[in-house]
Amino acid sequence: MNKTLFSLLGCLIFFCGAYFSEAQTREIITLKKGWKFKKGQHPSATKVDFDDAKWETVTVPHDWAIYGPFDKEVDKQTVAITQNGEDIATEKTGRTGALPYIGEAWYRNTFSLENFDDTKKVLLLFEGAMSEPEIFLNGEKVGEWKYGYSYFYFDVSKYINGKSQNTLAVKLTNEGKSSRWYPGAGLYRNVRVIIKNNESFEQWSTFISTPSISLDEAKVNIKTKAFGTDLKLVTEIYNKDGNEINSKETSTIINNEFEQNIKVNQPQLWSPETPYLYTAVLKLYKGDILKDEITQRFGIRTIDYSPNTGFSLNGETRKFKGVCLHHDLGPIGTAVNRSALQRQLKILKDMGCNAIRSAHNMPSFEQLELCDEMGFMFLAESFDEWKKPKVENGYNRFFDEYAEKDVVNLVRATRNHPSIVMWSSGNEVPDQWGSEGVKRAKWLQDIFHREDPTRPVTVGMDQVKAVMESGFGAIMDVPGLNYRVHLYDEAYERFPQGFLLGSETASTVSSRGIYKFPVEIASMKTYPDFQSSSYDLEYCSWSNLPDDDFVLQDDRPWVIGEFVWTGFDYLGEPTPYDEAWPSRSSYFGINDLAGLPKDRYYLYRSRWNTEDETLHILPHWNWQGREGETTPVFVYTSYDSAELFLNGKSLGIQTKNNKTNQNRYRLMWIDVKYEPGILKVVALDNNGNPAAEKEIKTSGKPYELVLDSDVKTLKANGEDIAFVTVSVVDKNGIPCPTATNQLQFKVEGNGLYRAACNGDATSLELFHLPTMKLFSGKLVVLVQSTNKVGNIKLTVTGDNLEKGELIITSKK
């Protein structure tokens, strides 16, 4: 690829709310409430008259396994993880979160279609079902799928009982040894019923692109397919304020496909800094009668990957400052929730992150919509496994039959999102070895190109020597390297593309607020408490420290960016403690499982957030028993120099330098002797003058609980969540960073207690119970709205502590 211009893509507004109607031409029912759920084998559950009265009533999205309990025997795998360079199989506990996701389960629901008749078409759409779903409607099987991360739909028109009640049953089967991380379980994304006319738009057929853009005008190209004869397409374009700016009508249809080109004057370009979104309203007429109408948002932007400039957006060269995200949302598991996703993105936005990689599976529609709105570029990934297995019961079982269908659904359902700037067909697949793997890579890449010729395709490659020799890396649009920083220069010389992407970087491990001595760089370091040091100097055998990637990003213009493993901790993969118990979640996150920033957050922020000041001190300053012992102090800051003071005495000025990679990006006072009191850092500007300061203090005993919510109001929709950070302070209001008090939570008024999380990877306390220990002085309580407006009161108590109270308002 010498130079390829990958143009704008827009964002499909799919469905919102429990019920949605577009000009009365179609109806969309979101089946959220009224589901009956039961785990175990229930073959008669397909029958309409099956008695499910004693089954549990749940709301979808739903993850049955997140409620626990944690058990080391769940999916215990004896395996050598080749991606980690292991040759000998060992017992891995907690690899998939130690949560009971394995087994068969059933969901049942009923719905009625008041406006149904023979002129209607009905689709049943699933946005994610974990896993191997089999779908039954009114006692008959309408179809099945295999991949738990795929979106899929069936035309169920012939199974519908007219205007009477329809009974939907869904069977899900999760095999053991089918995943490398916690996959979740259940109908964890939305289920929709779509009722439309026979003369209508084909599902996911609309494709919006902008092949020509200048300062004065942009050409918006629209392709869409429709069912019927004597049809006419009218498209209206609206700006962000809802004003119509252009429209077009056409009756020319070839092979059931319309195509239009519509001009937009003085286009506003989409970018992470200015995520401007337009809206296209497509209306389908038969004669003069409106038969169907769909609304899609899109953005106008260009992307380019070139050996001369690397990656550019709207003609501006820039680098990906990205993170990888697994799909679980910590204490609520994999059940998709818009407010939880939005909170994650707000935290990442403040850090200066501009890109997300969905690892290692298809993203939710909600995540993509938020990235469009908030301004994040997106690397949308499809698979973690192709034909050759990583785990015994993984996707390899379905690859031959389903891979093309899964890629087609991924691309068609999401290609209109402007946030997506790249596809990934796989991650660290064992198929990197040998000629068959090269053929599979090209086959998959060709499918992506066929369905979307405007974006490039990558694969996260960890077997870099192998892909150099086989040609695997040479055929990819974007060569993505997972780690292997020592091979970047050689790969750049060997590959023809003229640039490289850090598709997965760092895998540095740490536990929030935990510090180990002596402070030293170490690989796979373990401790008796099963924690990792937050000095950010510990990493995995296959990976490296953040600073090593920073050097490549800064010194190699042909490195087009990085995606750090990971933005947040996730359930499962507790490396380096995957052979230890209890450890049931990762240590990789820049933020912990509760969404609380670790120290490493500020290291990335100091480099990525170029708009705001960063000044952060570590470790905490409560070290009773370490008086007089060496306790190094690190400062992560956007300034180049700073002076450190301990109880008013200067410990000297440090300036970033090139002695080591760490010296280049961190300020470090290595020989500080601990004494209780006040540790203060004063940042210096380029002239050596004080520019900012920060201090931390030694605290007394825990005295009072302090509550701080990420939002002040909630939507009274039964889904919105407030994330309340609970911390403990002493009598003088100084945070107590080592407190581990057991707390209790009570929610009153028009809200519900949803869950709590303290970020401790070794905690076996269940998230949904209203009690939990503090970890490093903090935890997070999740308060969820009901459908009623009014006040919600959260009260948090603990023995020998002044209680904390918080009022949140719920509004329509």
**Active-site annotation, residues:** 428, 504
Q: What angle is formed at CA 762 by the lines to CA 584 and CA 722, rounded to 5 degrees?
A: 85
Number of residues in the chain: 812
At 351, which amino acid appears?
A: M
What's the sign of the alpha-carbon dihedral 233, 239, 240, 242?
Answer: negative
How many angstroms from the chain centroid is the CA of residue 69?
A: 25
Q: CA 695, 698, 700, 701 torsion: positive or negative?
A: positive
Q: Answer for the pair 495, 469: CB distance below 8 angstroms, yes or no.
A: no
Q: Which amino acid is at 44?
A: S
Distance CA 48, CA 721 (A): 35
Following DSSP, what letter does each residue of 755-809 receive, concatenated? EEE---TT----TTSSEEE-BTTEEEEEEEE-SS-EEEEEEEEETTSB-EEEEEE
* Residue 10: exposure state from Cβ atoms within 10 A (0-12, 13-18, ≥19): buried
Compute the half-sphere exposure of residue 130: CA atoms within 13 Å on the CB side of its CA: 28
Residues contacting residue 158 through CB under 8 Å, at least 6 positions apart: none
Least Cα distance to 395 among 407, 412, 413 occurs for 407
Among 723, 707, 771, smallest CA distance to 592 is for: 723
Task: Report the alpha-carbon distance of residue 527 to residue 520 in Å, rounded.
Answer: 14
Distance of CA 32 to the CA centre of its chain: 22
Identify the H or E element spanning 435: helix 435-451
Q: How many CA atoms lie within 13 A of 717 on its CB side?
A: 16
* DSSP states of 477-515: SEEEEES-GGGHHHHHHH-SSS-EEEEEEE-B---TT--
Looking only at the bridges linking them, the beta strands covering 633-637 and 771-773 are: unpaired
- What is the DSSP-derived secondary structure letter of residue 428? S
What are phi and psi for residue 800, nearest 5 degrees?
60, 25
Non-local CB neighbours of 475 within 8 Å, separated by 6+ positions: 438, 441, 442, 445
Q: Give the pair of three-digit tokens for residue 643.
A: 């002076």
Q: Roughly how many angstroms between the first and final C-alpha of the chain, as a whole number?
A: 51
- Enter the tokens of residue 102: 């394995």
Give alpha helix (H) positions in 609-742. Answer: 661-665
Residues 6 or more apart whose CB falls under 8 angstroms from that of 288 comprise none
Report the C-alpha gap between 451 and 448 in whole angstroms: 5
255: enclosing H helix or E strand? none
β strands within 138-270, DSSP E? 140-144, 152-155, 165-174, 191-197, 207-213, 217-225, 231-238, 244-250, 257-265
b (16+ CB within 10 A) / e for 511-527: bbbbbbeebeebebeee
Residue 546: name the closest of 601, 491, 587, 611 by CA.
601
* C-beta separation of 642 from 667 below 8 A: yes
Measured in degrees and rounded to the nearest 5, phi and psi for residue 413 equal -75, -20
| Cβ atoms of 588 and 567 closer than 8 Å | no
